[in-house]
Amino acid sequence: MTQTKRSKAMPEFDRMKTYDLKEAITLLKSMPKSKFDESVDIAFNLAVDPKYNDQMVRATVLLPHGNGKTVRVAVFAKGDAAEAAKKAGADIVGAEDLVAQVEKGIINFDRVIAAPDCMPLVGRVGKILGPKGMMPNPKLGTVTPNVAKAVQDVKSGMIEFKVEKAGIVHAGVGRLSFDEKKLAENIQALVKAVKDAKPSGAKTNYLQRLAVSSTMGPGIKIDITSV
- Assess whether 88 and 143 both reside in one domain: yes
Average pLDDT over the chain reads 91
Q: What is the pLDDT of residues 12-46, one digit of tens each?
A: 777 889 999 999 999 999 888 888 999 999 999 99
Q: What is the pLDDT of residues 44-70, one digit of tens each?
A: 999 999 999 999 999 999 999 999 988
Which residue range(s) make up the domain with 136? 73-154
- Cβ neighbours, 10 Å, residue 180: 13
Instruction: Give the pLDDT score at 32.
Output: 81
pLDDT over 90 percentage in the chain: 78
Is residue 124 included in any domain, yes or no? yes
Q: Report whether pLDDT(75) > 50.
A: yes
Residue 73, strand partner residues = 111
Q: Which CATH number is 37's domain given?
A: 3.30.190.20
- pLDDT recorded at residue 33: 80
Distance of CA 142 to the CA centre of its chain: 14
Task: Look at residue 5 in the predicted model and tell me its pLDDT.
Answer: 47
Instruction: Average the pLDDT over 165-175 and give the result.
Output: 93
Interatomic CA distance for residues 76 and 144, integer angstroms: 11
Measuring CA to CA, how many Å separate 140 from each of 39, 77, 114, 144, 161? 24, 17, 12, 9, 10
Q: Which of 101, 119, 154 is the last residue of a domain?
A: 154
The number of distinct structural domains making up the chain is 2
| Residue 176 contacts residue 29 (beta carbons within 8 Å) | yes
CATH at residue 93:
3.40.50.790
